[in-house]
Chains A and B, each alone.
Chain A
Amino acid sequence: MNDFAHLLDRLAYEPRRNAKLRLLQDFFAGTPDPERGWALAAMTGGLTFREAKPALIRALVEERVDPVLFSLSHNYVGDLAETTALIWPGPEQDPPPSAREGSPGLGHNNPPPSVPTLAEVVETLATTPKRALPQYLTRWLDALDETGRWALLKLVTGNLRVGVSARLAKTAVGALGGHEADAVEEVWHGLKPPYTELFAWVEGRGERPESRNPAPFRPPMLSHPVEEFEDLDKLEPEAFSAEWKWDGIRVQLAGGRDNQGRQVQKIYSRTGEDISDAFPDLAEAITFDGAIDGELLILREGRVQSFNVLQQRLNRKAVTGKLLDEFPAHVRAYDVLSAEGEDLRGLPFAERRPRLEALVRRLDHARIDLSPLVPFATWDDVAAARADPASAGAGADADAIEGVMLKRLNSPYLPGRPKGPWWKWKREPYVVDAVMMYAQRGHGKRSSFYSDYTFGCWRESAEGEELVPVGKAYHGFTDAELQKLDRYVRNHTTKRFGPVREVAYGRDAGLVLEIAFEGVQRSTRHKSGVAMRFPRVSRIRWDKPAAEADRVEVLERILARGEREVAPGAAMEASE
């Protein structure tokens, strides 16, 4: 476990992809099975066990450390796992001299608790009843060094983020035997931790693991924002196809027959996570042998609902009949990756598209339809469609459109994010000018900076004009701007509430932030009754007086537009 922890520690400080890859390769090459396989599972999100709640960790540490000191430390460090790891009285800390003298024979002469392996930790977590967890955790924390404690706590709380993607980890495994990451991806879904067959194969000691999964995940093809390509005019419009970019979740529908002849129905997320169980209504539509790339959307009465509506389904843990009725899941198909056992990814888009159309037609299922192409002759046509999808063929579904996708007609389906064949051209975000009201210290990299800002817009109230909070943003600014914002907060603080500061705001005081966002939804948490989607600071308006910031009504108008979607049941008539 300490070795794995030290790997994570080094990875966390290493910004270079190649150096990370190198560290991973060294680790995989030098660590025996099954330890390295569990490490791979930890890095690829393949571990399932009952996670420890932060409250449990807190309780354990407060048995040993003054709660006030712990809370001050946590507030300072900004991360529960790290604070606990640093503050835990560990084996490296000598007992104070008085304790040593006062209790001869104790302390040093006791055998140190044995350092657990990652395999031991993972296997114990998977089989241990909840009530025994504190006891194991305590024993491990006592045995591990500071870095080991940090990694253990990140792992058990389900927060193991180390700046390594699953993809990079698979790349490193593949590289042990000169295989590309995609070769690993292809066999991946038939495998289980601790992946001993996989390591045996890449190291040339075993057969290639047969994908026993008749409906495997295939790594999706991703696009680059068109803004990265400065001059659209340099691209020839006739080489591209255009279609809508739908505002749902990107999924892959995969179907096939297992060796008993049963139909296998799988829905994968963009990252290869199997989400079939969350969408049984859609999974049962997978009656084909092949794989479709598309967007998961909620359709009611044939109309695509906004992301707000989809969100309501995604937020529910239990999949009930009522949920399925109210939020029926559909897929709007973008592409076909395989059909009837034939891998189509090598074909150009212009040939895949007719194959897709034929497949969707043959399926003739209400839950799966085609994402229509957007006809155009010039880039200006595309720009016009992007600006006003409703008039360019999207009609009533326009509010569920995020922008336009441009796909090169002659490009094969390439896993990953190759630059050139696919471009996304998102719609302009909404913007409002709002006034900073509160600031909170950030976490992680920003834990000493006031980097999370709550901002408000103007509203009429009984006492006259007032600012009410409408949202919170913590990105969109550069590090240099963050330093300025942080200084602004410190110099304009009016009240402090723990890690939160209230800053001066009002008609004659306050900093205006231009906030960009993707939409508005109703909120019971905000006093204003509205909340923004993906709000971020798009500009800092040092120049603008707070009195000239926007009003809440601006947001309410945007909300009213988004709510024209068809609501389930009785509400239907009202909205029509």
Chain B
Amino acid sequence: MSQRASDLLTLTREGLYCPLGRFHVDPTRPVERALITHGHADHARAGHSTVLATPETLRIMAVRYGEDFCRSRQEARLGEWMRIGDVTVFFAPAGHVLGSAQIAIEREGQRIVVSGDYKRAPDPTCLPFEVVPCDVFITEATFGLPVFRHPDTRGEVRKLIESVTLFPERAHIVGAYALGKAQRVMALLREEGWDRPIHLHGAMEKLTELYKREGVPLGETPKVVAADRKDLHGAIVLCPPSSIQDLWSRKFPDPVTAFASGWMRVRARARQKGVELPLVISDHSDWPDLCRTIRDTGAEEVWVTHGQEDALVHWCGTQGIRAKPLHLLGYGDDGEAEPDPGQDPKMEEASA
């Protein structure tokens, strides 16, 4: 095969670039043509000329950035091949958040899959991940260390409900990323039989309404009215992670601080944020699923975009799979430490 993987996809200042199709994938700066895997702010930015993404992702971007977030948009239908320049592409579900997709790029029988962020665990708010066999698999590694094994989400949600039972006088403030995590927590609460209202911080409202319009049943989700906070005894309140420690949350009756995130697996992370009730619920793959997915794709080569690349690259080596870190900037953090949720609200969800 004369064509090399780097002819199909290469790295530019803006991010991953396909020279033969003249498009970027999840670029971090405005470009002519962008293919977007999902609606999180570090992958989906405003200001591109043309955006190709799933209909749900396009609608999420419109809600976040306004209808004019790009000059022209094009809907990608899952599993349908499209020709762009000299390559063909198709989108497949990634199981990360509503509308999230992997993007497969193919030419002359060689296929690269850009997975974006993905998870294999069940999620009632989005389509499950589909394995797309490929030659080169581009994976994230947010939880790319073997200490990360996400538990069953049902147990975590039950922990929250049990705490409300134990402390019926106290409001339970749950930090959750506004896109995806929050709605997943709501849906999981409903599955576990929580039928009381789930109260929302204002920042959660628009995206939650969007999920409902997209057909995800989430029940009654009133927005928190500032004056009523003191009366919300025993309520479950969802807010962005940056709000769990600020003054806003202190006005609730003796609040219990919870945080739904894969980071809660590590005690120090929970304590750094002053979390009293850590809920290990993640929209990313844990270590076993990262490894399983790489094997499932049958890829001979793996590129690691962001997160804990070193460990995953090392593991690939032990499995006889060529692997390299891409050191992509702009996703999460500098890749060495975890993204720092709470610094920049836009970046928070990078570490969902």
Chain A residues in contact with chain B, CB under 8 A?
A: 12-15, 65-66, 68-70, 72-73, 76-79, 82-83, 86-87, 92-93, 443-449, 490
Which partner residue on chain B sits nearest A441 by CB separation?
B337
A405 to B145, CA, bound (A): 52
Since A65-B146, A68-B314 are in contact, a sample of 6 more A-B pairs with Cβ atoms closer than 8 Å, ordered by chain A residue number, is A72-B311, A76-B266, A92-B151, A443-B268, A444-B271, A446-B272
Task: Give the 5 A-B CB pairs with smallest separation, nearest first.
Answer: A86-B147, A447-B268, A72-B311, A73-B147, A448-B337
Given contacts A13-B277, A86-B265, contact A66 B318 (CB under 8 A): yes
A65 to B147, CA, bound (A): 11
Of the candidates A73, A76, A82, A448, the one whose C-beta lies within 8 Å of that of B267 is: A82
**Cβ–Cβ contact B271 & A73, under 8 A:** no
A69 to B148, CA, bound (A): 12
B32: interface (CB < 8 Å)? no
Which partner residue on chain B sits nearest A66 by CB separation?
B318
**Cβ–Cβ contact A72 & B267, under 8 A:** no
A70 to B287, CA, bound (A): 13
Given contacts A72-B314, A444-B271, contact A14 B276 (CB under 8 A): yes
Which partner residue on chain A sits nearest B311 by CB separation?
A72
B124, chain A: closest CB distance, angstroms: 22
Can you list 11 pairs linking A and B with CB atoms under 8 Å apart?
Answer: A14-B276, A15-B276, A66-B314, A68-B314, A69-B145, A76-B266, A77-B266, A82-B267, A86-B148, A87-B147, A448-B268
Given contacts A13-B277, A14-B276, A72-B145, contact A78 B268 (CB under 8 A): yes
Which partner residue on chain B sits nearest A490 by CB separation?
B334
A148, chain B: closest CB distance, angstroms: 14
> What A residues does B267 contact at CB under 8 A?
12, 79, 82
Which of B266, B270, B277, B338 counts the most A-chain CB atoms under 10 A from its CB?
B266
**Cβ–Cβ contact B275 & A79, under 8 A:** no
Which partner residue on chain B sits nearest A71 by CB separation?
B311
Which partner residue on chain A sits nearest B269 by CB separation?
A448
B99: interface (CB < 8 Å)? no
Given contacts A72-B311, A445-B271, contact A13 B278 (CB under 8 A): yes
**Cβ–Cβ contact B266 & A72, under 8 A:** no
Of the candidates A73, A446, A448, the one whose C-beta lies within 8 Å of that of B145 is: A73
A445 to B318, CA, bound (A): 33
**Cβ–Cβ contact B308 & A76, under 8 A:** yes
A87 to B148, CA, bound (A): 8
A25 to B288, CA, bound (A): 39
**Cβ–Cβ contact A79 & B268, under 8 A:** yes
A77 to B271, CA, bound (A): 13
> What A residues does B266 contact at CB under 8 A?
76-77, 82, 86, 447
A89, chain B: closest CB distance, angstroms: 9
A77 to B272, CA, bound (A): 13
B153, chain A: closest CB distance, angstroms: 14
Of the candidates A14, A73, A444, the one whose C-beta lies within 8 Å of that of B311 is: A73
A444 to B151, CA, bound (A): 22
A73 to B146, CA, bound (A): 7
Chain B residues 147-187 with CB under 8 Å of chain A are 147-149, 151
Chain B residues 257-292 with CB under 8 Å of chain A are 265-272, 274-278, 288
A82 to B338, CA, bound (A): 18
B315: interface (CB < 8 Å)? yes
> What B residues does A448 contact at CB under 8 A?
268-269, 272, 337-338
A507 to B341, CA, bound (A): 36
Which of A14, A76, A444 counts the most B-chain CB atoms under 10 A from its CB?
A76
Given contacts A13-B278, A73-B146, contact A445 B272 (CB under 8 A): yes
Chain B residues in contact with chain A, CB under 8 A?
A: 145-149, 151, 265-272, 274-278, 288, 308, 310-311, 314-315, 318, 334, 337-338
A449 to B338, CA, bound (A): 10
**Cβ–Cβ contact B149 & A93, under 8 A:** yes
B325, chain A: closest CB distance, angstroms: 13
> What A residues does B148 contact at CB under 8 A?
86
A92 to B334, CA, bound (A): 33
B253, chain A: closest CB distance, angstroms: 14
Of the candidates B275, B311, B337, B338, the one whose C-beta lies within 8 Å of that of A69 is: B311
Given contacts A77-B147, A79-B268, A86-B149, contact A72 B310 (CB under 8 A): yes
Of the candidates B145, B147, B149, B275, the one whose C-beta lies within 8 Å of that of A13 is: B275
B254, chain A: closest CB distance, angstroms: 9
A444 to B334, CA, bound (A): 21
Which partner residue on chain A sits nearest B275 by CB separation?
A13
**Cβ–Cβ contact B271 & A13, under 8 A:** yes
**Cβ–Cβ contact B315 & A66, under 8 A:** yes
> What B residues does A78 contact at CB under 8 A?
268
A69 to B308, CA, bound (A): 11
Which of B145, B272, B274 counts the most A-chain CB atoms under 10 A from its CB?
B145
**Cβ–Cβ contact B270 & A13, under 8 A:** yes
A69 to B314, CA, bound (A): 8
> What B residues does A445 contact at CB under 8 A?
268, 271-272
**Cβ–Cβ contact B268 & A444, under 8 A:** yes
**Cβ–Cβ contact A83 & B147, under 8 A:** yes
A448 to B308, CA, bound (A): 13
A446 to B274, CA, bound (A): 12
A185 to B298, CA, bound (A): 65
A444 to B270, CA, bound (A): 10
Given contacts A66-B315, A447-B268, A448-B337, contact A76 B145 (CB under 8 A): yes
A163 to B280, CA, bound (A): 22
> What A residues does B272 contact at CB under 8 A?
445-446, 448-449
Which partner residue on chain A sits nearest B318 by CB separation?
A66
A173, chain B: closest CB distance, angstroms: 22
B266, chain A: closest CB distance, angstroms: 6
A72 to B312, CA, bound (A): 10
Of the candidates A68, A92, A446, A490, the one whose C-beta lies within 8 Å of that of B268 is: A446
